Amino acid sequence: MDRVFSAIKLVGGLAVVGAASLMQTAILLALLPSRTARIRSCIIYERLVGYSVSWLIGCRISIIGKENLNFRRPAIYVFNHTSIADLFITLRILPFGTVGVMKKEIVRYPFFGQVYLLTGHLRVDRSRQNLAISQMRSLGEFVRDRKLSIIMSAEGTRSKDGRLLPFKKGIAHMALLTGLPVVPVVVQGAHRIWEKNTLKIRGGAVQVKVLPAVDTSDWSADEPDSAVAEIRAAFLNNLPHDQLPLEQTELKKTA
C-alpha cells in the first residue's frame, strides 16, 4: 500500500512540475536574450512548484528565522542536502532573483532540470575542478554586477543517511568572488521524507532554520578551509543528533 501511495504522490508531483514547467518555458523563451530577466521571472514558478510538490508528498514545513530571509539584501544561501525533497523545500523560501549552483546532473530531473538549464542557473561538473572554478568565477561576476543572490548545497552532493557531509570550498570561492554574506539554511528531517535512491515517499515534519547571515568581508583566499569551517560549525550546532556526522556524535558522547 505504501508503494501505491508513493506512486500516486510521484505522479501528482510530476504532473504539477510538468504543467508549471511548460508555462515557464514559454516565458523563458520570450526572455531568452536576458539571463537576468529569466532568473527573476522564475519566482512564481518556484513558489508554485515548491508549495505544491511539498504538499503532495506530505511535507509539513515549519520555518524558524524567517527574519533572516532579507529579500532586499543579496546573499549566498547554503543548505544541507539530504533528499530530493530539499529541492522543493528551498524553492518555497528563495528570495526574488536567486541563482542556483547545482551539480550538472540536475538536468536529469524531468521538466525541472530543463527549466533550470534554460533559466541560466549554473551546473557544476564536479569531475573537472578547474572548469568548475572558472564557471563559478564567471557566475560571481554576473551576480555581483546585477545584485542577485545565490543558493547552493554546502556538501555538493546528497547525503545518503541525512548526516552532514564534508563541505566543499565552493562556498568560500563564491563569497570571495561576490563579497556577499553567507546565510546557513539548516534543513532537519527531510531525509525521512524521500529516501535517497528510492521512490519511497513518506509524509512527515521538516524544520528549516534560517540562521543569521555570516559576514565574509574578512575571509581570505589563503584560508578557504577556515572560512568553510566557520559555516559548517553553524550547521553542526543546529542539526539534530541523527543528522550529525558519526565522528561528531562520538565526540559528544565522550565530552
Q: What is the pLDDT of residue 33?
A: 95
Burial class from Cβ neighbours inside 10 Å (0-12, 13-18, 19+) for residue 86 reads: buried
pLDDT at 250 over 70: no
Question: Is 183 inside any structural domain?
Answer: yes
For the segment 123-138, the average pLDDT, to the nearest whole number, is: 80
Question: Is 251 inside any structural domain?
Answer: no
Q: Which domain holds residue 114?
A: 2-237
Number of domains in the chain: 1
Mean pLDDT in the chain? Answer: 90
Question: Is 250 inside any structural domain?
Answer: no
Q: What is the pLDDT of residue 196?
A: 72
Closest CA to 178 of 205, 209, 139, 204: 139
| 147 sits in which H/E element | none
Question: Is 136 inside any structural domain?
Answer: yes
CA-CA distance, 114 to 85, in Å (whole number)?
18
Q: Which pLDDT band holds residue 7 (cuts at 50, 70, 90)? A: confident
Question: Is 166 inside any structural domain?
Answer: yes
Q: Where are the beta strands (DSSP E) in the chain?
A: 59-64, 76-79, 98-103, 122-124, 149-153, 182-188, 204-210
* Residue 9, domain CATH: 3.40.1130.10
Q: Which pLDDT band holds residue 92 (cuts at 50, 70, 90)? A: very high
Question: Is 71 inside any structural domain?
Answer: yes
Question: Is 21 inside any structural domain?
Answer: yes
Q: What is the pLDDT of residue 71?
A: 84
Question: Is 245 inside any structural domain?
Answer: no
